[in-house]
Amino acid sequence: MKNLPLFIIVGIALGVTASCQSNTAHEGAAAEAPASTPPAAAPPAPLSISAVDLKPGVAEQTPREGYLQVVSAKVLKAEPLQLRLPAMWQSDPDRADGVKAAPGYRISYEAVLQWIPQGFGHQKVPASLPLYAPNGRDTLASFRVGGLNLNVPGRERYTVTPIEPRKPLTVHGTLYAFLGQNEQQQPALVVYPYRGRAGGFDDSFKKVLLPIPR
């Protein structure tokens, strides 16, 4: 476990892109969710996290350019389970005893998003653009605004809703997070690195912590 991040080691001890408002191509298929159920691994105990500030976590599922802002977010349900660690967080993945999973939660939430148009210059801002919202709970897909249609006929993994400039829109989504601690040794959720999947090395190792009020 020498290469496993400290906050995940602590979690084990406790018991788990952007569409750029343009015509650029997008990732059409939603990635597989990290849910894992190894026979020898037990999920964490149920935890009341209704008071957790989920906004920074939901923000990780929005384009990194910042034109889709999270106005508010609240937890609807938190399911404890074992989660597969992202490859860059795994301990010696080539070894048989390498740690590849940790306790965490599948969090269903309701959020309010707001589109802040960027990059239009002197062009007229559209009255609305399609917002692509992942519609499955077992996905690592993120929100997208505009661009190419992300849905494949017969395999529609996104709910498409018009979003107007600077007008709040309520959405529902799923967030995966590991159980761990912050630097003050207080309980915290460690958000799965959604933005790291886009190929950004720095974002792949970025840790977004959501303190859990006691």
Higher per-residue confidence, 85 vs 164: 164
Per-residue pLDDT, 213: 84
Q: 164 pLDDT band (50/70/90 cuts)?
A: very high
State both tokens at 203: 């974002």
CA distance 67 to 126: 14
pTM of the model: 0.77
Domain boundaries, the chain: 6-21+31-211
CA distance 107 to 16: 12
Digit-coded pLDDT (tens) for 149-160: 889 888 889 999
CA distances (Å), origin 213, targets 58, 75, 128, 172:
18, 14, 38, 23
Please, what is the average pLDDT of the chain? 79
Burial track 85-118 (b if 16+ CB lie within 10 A, e otherwise): bbeebbbeeeeeeebbbbbbbbbebebbbbbeee
Digit-coded pLDDT (tens) for 68-107: 999 999 999 999 999 988 877 776 656 566 778 889 999 9
Q: What is the mean pLDDT of the segment spanning 37-44?
A: 57
Q: 22 pLDDT band (50/70/90 cuts)?
A: very low
CA distance 205 to 195: 10
Q: 25 pLDDT band (50/70/90 cuts)?
A: very low
* Mode of pairing for the β-strands spanning 129-134 and 101-115: unpaired
Burial track 51-80 (b if 16+ CB lie within 10 A, e otherwise): ebebbebbbbbbbbeebbebeebebeebeb
Higher per-residue confidence, 26 vs 47: 47
CA distance 189 to 210: 5
pLDDT surpassing 70 at residue 30: no
Q: 214 pLDDT band (50/70/90 cuts)?
A: confident
